[in-house]
Structure 1
Amino acid sequence: MPDSGDIHAVKASQRADSQVRVYAVPPRQGATPGEIVAGFLEAMTSDDTNFATARKYLTPDASRKWRPDASTTVLTAAPDSGLPERGRADYPGMSYPLFGKQIATVDSQHAYQAMPPTTYRETIHLSEQAGPDGKEWRIDSLPTGLVLGASDFQRSYRSVNKYYFASGRNVVVADPVYIRQRLDPVTRMDPVTQTVKALLEGPTNWLKQVVESPFPTGTALKEGTKSLPLDDRNALKVPLNEKASNVGRPECVQLAAQILFTLRDLTSTRVDQVELQRADGSQLCVLDRGQAEAIAPDHNSGKPINQYFVDKKNRLALLTGGAKEIGEPQNVPGPFGDGQLPVSVVGVARHERTAAAVSKDSSQLYVTSIISDSRPGSPVVTSKGKTPLNRLSAPSWDGRDDLWVADRDPGNPALLHLAGGTGTPQAVKIVPGLDGARIEAVKVSVDGVRIALLLSKGGKTTLKIGRVEHPGPKGSPLVTVADLRPAAPQMETVTAVSWAGPSRLVVVGKESGGVQQVRYIQTDGSSSAASILPGLNQVMAVTASDDESRPLVAYSKDDGIVRLPAGANWQTLVKEGSSPVYPG
């Protein structure tokens, strides 16, 4: 413990603890303007019904206009209030500036949007009002919605994946949102009810172009529903409004499956069955967990467990085994494993029968079987870049068994898509454009509708997530990546990335002035201190399975191929090797 040095004030809200509850305190009689501002900022962090205590700091007109559920502004720490300014003759009262570093916004759809730390400055204005005991200061103008420090936000909210079906396919796609940890102050709904309500309201704006939900627009919980308790069979009954009364069984069971997937990680008790009910209480349909998995059979893409890497002789090898034990490396059959075709980086299809590999000099991409002996065919893509760093990236397979790769040739950069892994390479249109940035790495999600891109510009490499759209008619090779958004805006540079579950990425990178970290980040850019993983030096590549129970695997210049089992530290698997990958 230090025994010397300056004394610094520490905000009480610096630590996030979901077990801590804040109880708002109403303004005292004769409170000064500064006390009103401080009390209101603290009251915004409470779970008080409809923020009733926070509203006591507002004038009646400001209270009527204030909508705390409209949006949430997330700052690195609780907002600071500066020195007050006295009003003018035409606008009497007191103004207090609020300032901080904004890192995210949560909109009315509960969607979190991260941003690089940005200066936040707003104003709270107070005026004197007539009260029962004379004049009293109250807030008559304030920022929109809630303004919270990151620790208060993490204490009050939790991330939940809503699930929708990819357009035209029985594949579910995660749509992360944030809901209150306890009763929502405005709706008074418990977390399960909040989540089902958010699911019924439809996908967030960013995702809605590529997913669908089977129920009619306007379907909602029956009016007055505040809680959805489980019965003694772990079954959940969900009463719906009149909009749902005439839907058919196929649509009903699809929505029930969406609810089961969505509630899978939310409740402390496992939900084994969902019963949807009409507004009159009659049954629409019943679905259990096993039936839900049958509706979306590739929900976790078969959970492949093998890990692959490129050995010291530039051959593709695999490590068989699960989370606890790993077998000895074995070279795969065929030209990638027998040395006929030395390779640098690889991507293994999710069915594990085929792989794509980039040649040792990074100029050519080949696709071939890894379960039988064969001769190498012709390359499916060739780059004319002058150096390996200006040629092909590591390939990536999506859940459609389509293949993706970036050509980093400065004279002809392109993101390429090969339908079925063997089709003619098609240049993917990116809307809007990359504004001079170059694609360094490509990772496509198992559902095939989201893509992670590492983009380099001005000596920095950043991570962005895009939406994969197929705008042409059915069977058309036309593919577009739209609406790129930052996924790790607080990182100055990102070295490597991999999908690590339905809405989670594992990234290797550095914050400004920091050291290299390996950490988990949600696709919406949110994370927490607990997401930082044990340190590892000189990490050049990382890979994770779609099954979140499988260990991470990474390539370190210092330690070779290593893995990180749950609850343990990094363990060396192979001292010499590179390009570790799980299927995908």
Structure 2
Amino acid sequence: MGADRVGSGRGRVGRTGAYAVCGAVLLAGCASMPDSGDLRGVESTARQDTQVRVFAMPPHENASPSEIVQGFLEALTSDDTNYETARKYLTTAAGHTWRPELSTTVLEDAPETNAEPVGSREEGEEFVFSMSGSKVATVDAQQSYVPVTGAYSRPVHLTKNHEDGQWRIDALPQGVVMGKSDFQRNYMSVNKYFFASDAEAGQSPQPAAVADPVYVRRRVEPMTQMVRSVLKGPTKWLGPVVRSSFPTGTALQAEGDALAPDDQNKLTVPLNARAARVGQGRCEEMAAQVLFTLQNLTPAVDEVELRSGGKQLCSLTEGSHADAVAALTSAQEPDYLYFVDGDHRLVRLSAGSGDTKAEPAPGALGEGEKALRTVAVSRDEHTAAGVRLDGKALYVGALVSGGSLGDPVLRSEGKTEENRLTAPSWDVRGDLWVADRDPANPRLLLLEKGAGEPVEVETSGLDGRVRAVRVAADGVRIALVVEKDSRRSLLIGRIERGGKTDGRPTVTVRELRSATPELEEVTAMSWAGDSRLVVVGREEGGVQQMRYVQSDGSAPEEQAPTALPGVEEIAACQDDQTPLVANSEDGIVRLPAGAQWRKVTEGTAPVYPG
């Protein structure tokens, strides 16, 4: 289940109930496995209904080493809260030292097991199995997903108990391992929320909420898991650019208690003494973090109350109360869809209607003063930027009638259109981003408030040339299409802003990571939620396709958008109720919810604000 979902209404976090339990399935641990010789896989559990809890069987009397290993691996895919059944396959000492929460290794298929007898096979007192497979991803102790590739191989050592003669595992890798299908059944992606540490939401005083996607076990108290995850703070990758309003050391007052809302959809969260002395404003920010997080998980929470020491600290309800505390970008709806018409002017359509007749945008860019190739509109829809038709110059103008354009704010010296300026992108601070693709001087650039001398952004670790730029609505993440050796990949980076030198800011994009490791060529992309993007591209030897991807490189469960041939540009909005729009071989087309692509009009370069 992806972290960005179709919502129950416009303007709130997308959410789906994902944790109800309707039944149980037992994993019997009875499939065959060789004790020696050839490789053979432990079959992945068949994909079950997500509402069905799965429980494993404990080891039976006089189970063989192969049955112990098989039963243990199957128990890892069950819904035992603390892996109680899996621990029954371990010796007492191993059960005390094994920490399954440290990591989850995801393999393409269920682990292959190869028996490697020590001494005299099962007649002895030791036995070793190796677990192996092809890695797909890892989920670390912070529940952060990272795509990985390469071979996986780890030993599992068994010993025979002298007292009862039973085989048990006494040495094994930390964490858990399972095949991709079991991972998809057992885990779901959920956004937890923090605040941008150095930016407000545009001109408003509220802090900008930032989504931090993590994976939690789907049917093992996910609400409690997510609250604990918020209290522990952001993941390592996002941590340098966000803050939490919870005081360091804040935890649930009673770690063993499961959280659940009452019949009024109110969730009470009892906190330890670390939170007891926070002020009202900070407490409401804390409640907003929990509320936004849980509304991304389930529709069952409309209000969050924080308590400590038996006393109420504060309470926060969804809607205008929460909106006054923090700015959630997925709750912000655009007024217009913008694009370039056949006369190379900036035009617009109402974003919430089925209109097909565009009107010129107010201001010089809509009046046709300069022939445009690509455009971007600020998130408050007060200012627009446009790249000239030849790609050599970038202009910025106010969206007001009679406004003048002036000189370009940036020029490229690239020799061809393809080697000049990319489409620009606005962040939540009102700063403008663009890349110059000139092979002689490739740069990622930032113009504060869309004006002044461009700031060259340091792109730490970037290997390749930027072909496209999109800044997330939260202002702390950026998506780049990067070309290297004829391969175009989608990378997500963290935006870090330092102090100013000679009055100019220091801006760096760090820890770029792939969001589409399996795609060879990314044609177009756009942010489509708090932690989700829509991407057009193709796999090696494949045809063009459109799909959703998570910013951490995982694949959400949402169905991919309906196929559309010849897509050159794609536009999506943080608000997941606003239709996708694309520039295809049929012109500007729109994808309403539950419908097929429909032609809107002729034109190019469609964008929503941002």
TM-score (normalised: structure 2): 0.87
2:174 and 2:255 mapped to 1: Cα distance? 27
**Residue 525 (str. 1) matches residue 550 (str. 2):** no
Shift of 1:242: 1.0
Amino acid at match of 1:342: A
**Residue 449 (str. 1) matches residue 479 (str. 2):** no
Aligned residue for 2:290, secondary structure, equals: helix
Q: Do the aligned residues in 2 keep the contact of 1:165 with 1:173 (CA within 8 Å)?
A: yes
Shift of 1:114: 2.1
2:101 and 2:258 mapped to 1: Cα distance? 19
Matched ranges for 1:119-158 at <5 A: 119-132=151-164, 134=165, 136-158=166-188
Q: Which moved more, 1:221-230 or 1:480-489?
A: 221-230
Give 1:507's aligned residue.
535
Q: Do the aligned residues in 2 keep the contact of 1:468 with 1:480 (CA within 8 Å)?
A: yes
Amino acid at match of 1:111: S
Shift of 1:515: 2.5
Q: Do the aligned residues in 2 keep the contact of 1:97 with 1:122 (CA within 8 Å)?
A: yes
Q: Do the aligned residues in 2 keep the contact of 1:310 with 1:317 (CA within 8 Å)?
A: yes
2:61 and 2:42 mapped to 1: Cα distance? 27
Give 1:99's aligned residue.
132
Aligned residue for 2:161, secondary structure, equals: strand
**Residue 180 (str. 1) matches residue 217 (str. 2):** yes
Equivalent residue for 1:18, pick from 21, 27, 50? 50
Matched ranges for 1:132-531 at <5 A: 132=164, 134=165, 136-168=166-198, 169=200, 170-183=207-220, 190-269=221-300, 271-278=301-308, 280-289=309-318, 290-297=320-327, 299-300=329-330, 302-322=332-352, 325-431=354-460, 433-435=461-463, 437-472=464-499, 476-528=504-556, 530-531=558-559
Shift of 1:390: 0.8
1:302 and 1:550 mapped to 2: Cα distance? 11
Task: Provide the identity percentage.
Answer: 51
**Residue 573 (str. 1) matches residue 600 (str. 2):** yes
Query: CA 1:390–1:473 in 2, change beyond 3 Å: closer, same or farther?
Result: closer
Query: CA 1:141–1:514 in 2, change beyond 3 Å: closer, same or farther?
Result: farther
Q: Do the aligned residues in 2 keep the contact of 1:320 with 1:327 (CA within 8 Å)?
A: no
Query: CA 1:503–1:528 in 2, change beyond 3 Å: closer, same or farther?
Result: closer
Aligned residues: 560
Shift of 1:297: 4.1
Shift of 1:123: 2.4
Aligned residue for 1:153, secondary structure, equals: helix
1:147 and 1:18 mapped to 2: Cα distance? 20
Give 1:4's aligned residue.
none
Amino acid at match of 1:326: D
- Note the alpha carbon deviations across 1:179-211, whole angstroms, 9 max, x for none: 22222xxxxxx2222111111111111111111
- Note the alpha carbon deviations across 1:8-42, whole angstroms, 9 max, x for none: 99945353631233221222333332222222111
Aligned residue for 1:451, secondary structure, equals: strand
Shift of 1:568: 1.5
2:524 and 2:494 mapped to 1: Cα distance? 20
Matched ranges for 1:45-84 at <5 A: 45-81=77-113, 83-84=114-115
Shift of 1:142: 2.0
Query: CA 1:88–1:379 in 2, change beyond 3 Å: closer, same or farther?
Result: farther
Shift of 1:152: 1.5
Amino acid at match of 1:382: R
Q: Do the aligned residues in 1 keep the contact of 2:468 with 2:482 (CA within 8 Å)?
A: yes
Q: Do the aligned residues in 2 keep the contact of 1:71 with 1:106 (CA within 8 Å)?
A: yes
Q: Which moved more, 1:356-365 or 1:16-25?
A: 16-25
Aligned residue for 2:521, secondary structure, equals: strand
Q: Which moved more, 1:28-37 or 1:71-80?
A: 28-37
Aligned residue for 1:547, secondary structure, equals: coil
Query: CA 1:224–1:92 in 2, change beyond 3 Å: closer, same or farther?
Result: closer
1:354 and 1:16 mapped to 2: Cα distance? 50
Give 1:534's aligned residue.
562
Amino acid at match of 1:217: T
Query: CA 1:295–1:94 in 2, change beyond 3 Å: closer, same or farther?
Result: same
Shift of 1:335: 3.4
Query: CA 1:129–1:297 in 2, change beyond 3 Å: closer, same or farther?
Result: closer
Query: CA 1:51–1:203 in 2, change beyond 3 Å: closer, same or farther?
Result: same
Q: Do the aligned residues in 1 keep the contact of 2:455 with 2:504 (CA within 8 Å)?
A: no
- Note the alpha carbon deviations across 1:322-359, whole angstroms, 9 max, x for none: 1x522412222333233321111111111222111111
Amino acid at match of 1:464: L
1:49 and 1:369 mapped to 2: Cα distance? 56
Shift of 1:305: 3.7
1:92 and 1:390 mapped to 2: Cα distance? 68
Shift of 1:423: 2.5
Query: CA 1:261–1:380 in 2, change beyond 3 Å: closer, same or farther?
Result: same
TM-score (normalised: structure 1): 0.91
2:411 and 2:494 mapped to 1: Cα distance? 26
Give ranges in structure 2 of 5+ residues lacking alignment.
1-39, 201-206
Q: Do the aligned residues in 2 keep the contact of 1:16 with 1:152 (CA within 8 Å)?
A: no
Give ranges in structure 1 of 5+ residues lacking alignment.
1-7, 184-189
2:327 and 2:349 mapped to 1: Cα distance? 26
Considering only aligned residues, what root-mean-square deviation do their CA atoms show, in Å?
Answer: 2.3
Amino acid at match of 2:147: A
Aligned residue for 1:394, secondary structure, equals: coil
1:514 and 1:29 mapped to 2: Cα distance? 51
Aligned residue for 1:250, secondary structure, equals: helix
Aligned residue for 2:77, secondary structure, equals: coil
Amino acid at match of 2:529: G
Give 1:34's aligned residue.
66
Aligned residue for 1:50, secondary structure, equals: coil
Amino acid at match of 1:566: A
Query: CA 1:277–1:45 in 2, change beyond 3 Å: closer, same or farther?
Result: same
- Structure scoring higher RCO (CA < 8 A, sep ≥ 6) equals 2
Q: Which moved more, 1:544-553 or 1:565-574?
A: 565-574
Q: Do the aligned residues in 2 keep the contact of 1:156 with 1:182 (CA within 8 Å)?
A: yes
2:80 and 2:362 mapped to 1: Cα distance? 64
Aligned residue for 1:196, secondary structure, equals: helix
Aligned residue for 2:348, secondary structure, equals: strand
Shift of 1:100: 2.1
Q: Do the aligned residues in 1 keep the contact of 2:351 with 2:578 (CA within 8 Å)?
A: no
Q: Do the aligned residues in 2 keep the contact of 1:238 with 1:276 (CA within 8 Å)?
A: yes
Amino acid at match of 1:36: I
